[in-house]
Structure 1
């Protein structure tokens, strides 16, 4: 028998940036756990293809730009009217731009800030309006190993992910009294479409395996258990935390 503390069947979850990679894997995990799942992204066709891969008949899509306030407001209203009140939000939308700080343009700085940080503020704020009124909800912000540590060439990315960690704690402080728990999930080096160039780089891959106590790259499915836990009643007294799923990398030198 499954423990009732981990039962999230019948809940409604929205996952941003869910067309591929980590977002799609997390959406699949939530669908397999019995949730009604709404996939968000900007490419409607990609979302439809992704939704067709997921189990069950309670998978929906919603197209809106997570970096635009009015688009977010309309998108969340559409979801809650068309699918139902949101119980779970996974703020997964994000991007990476690699360049030394001296070569990083103003435009790219604002783009990565909007995509990785502002999006979580906008979507989190809008989803929390209903959650705080109803007196329950779970928000999971997808942070990163780089919420804690950094390598050369990714300072702006690390800045957004470090700020997302603190936004998570701030949301916890504001919305905890209303029965909403807000936590972060911090993936380490995960093999996805977007990280393929790094995976294929023999020197970098060897460094990852050597640097990680688990001795391997993470897989997207390694992240699912953490999200299911943070979305479940088992985590009702867990808030403002970041759960690092990194094979132990943040713990060792």
Structure 2
């Protein structure tokens, strides 16, 4: 294989679960690199929108499906209908920003169910087919909160750390079958889900200034990591977490001491 072709996804079928926000950019990015993309989302209009954009911007027969990742039977049935899948990307997640002692049991269940159990369902639905065909790349989105926490992020952080450990385990279990399993850990990204934070000037500035680059990420800036992990450019990468946080987790605070 030539180096020029290492990032090509031509001839591969990619499934993206969670087609809004970052997921929509992932759909477009995978299609741009030649993949045929199936967009899965709880809302068909959201999945349709991502798929139509991919079809309009790039050649290929892309499709959209309305599916609840928490409906294990329906997800497994759809996985069987879709046929061979070489790339699986899971972006679906939610957060309830509350201090731990203020959490209700219902809120805890909602966050844990979608973030952890939903990812588990996706792995169980598509992992066996990849293992059987002897190839595949599974990519799930974690978060910088899998590495660092702040008040109000405890349950979300726990689920994202759990996702990483689950992916590492699957990487060990499916490695002999030729299936790679990795995580992408974004920093703070401009999406509809973070609008509440960005609407607060002080909160918005605090998050922007924490990274080495001094700004929020754009959703499309997550695509390169996904394409890399999906492609032959990363054939010896598995059990890893690729952090795309603008340097957030590398910096100990933002105070610049006086020199000289």
State TM-score, norm by structure 1.
Answer: 0.95
Aligned position for 2:257: none
Alpha-carbon contact 1:14-1:37 (below 8 Å) kept:
yes
The match for 2:30 is 30
Aligned pairs (5 A) from 1:101-120: 101-120=100-119
Q: Offset of 1:75 from its aligned partner? A: 1.7
How far does residue 2 in structure 1 lie from its aligned partner after superposition? 6.5
Distance 2:74 2:80 in 1: 10
Structure-2 residue corresponding to 1:237: 236
Distance across 1 between alignment mates of 2:224 and 2:45: 28
> How many Å separate the matches in 2 of 1:220 and 1:45?
19
Aligned to 2:124: 125
Residue 209 of structure 1, CA deviation:
2.2
Give the equivalent residue in structure 2 for 1:79: 82
| TM-score where L is the length of structure 2 | 0.92
Q: CA RMSD in A?
A: 1.3
Q: How does 1:1-253 map to 2 (within 5 A)?
A: 3-18=4-19, 20-54=20-54, 55=57, 56-80=59-83, 85-253=84-252
SS of 2:140's equivalent? Answer: strand
1:156 CA displacement: 0.5
Q: Which has the larger radius of gyration?
A: 2
For the 8 Å contact 1:40–1:62, the answer to whether it is kept is yes
Structure 1: which 5+ residue stretches go unaligned? none
Give structure 2 stretches of 5+ with no counterpart.
Answer: 253-260
Kindly indicate whether the alpha-carbon contact (under 8 Å) linking 2:27 and 2:51 is maintained by their aligned counterparts in 1. no
Q: Distance in 1 between matches of 2:27 and 2:67?
A: 17
List structure 1 runs of 4+ shifted beyond 6 angstroms: none
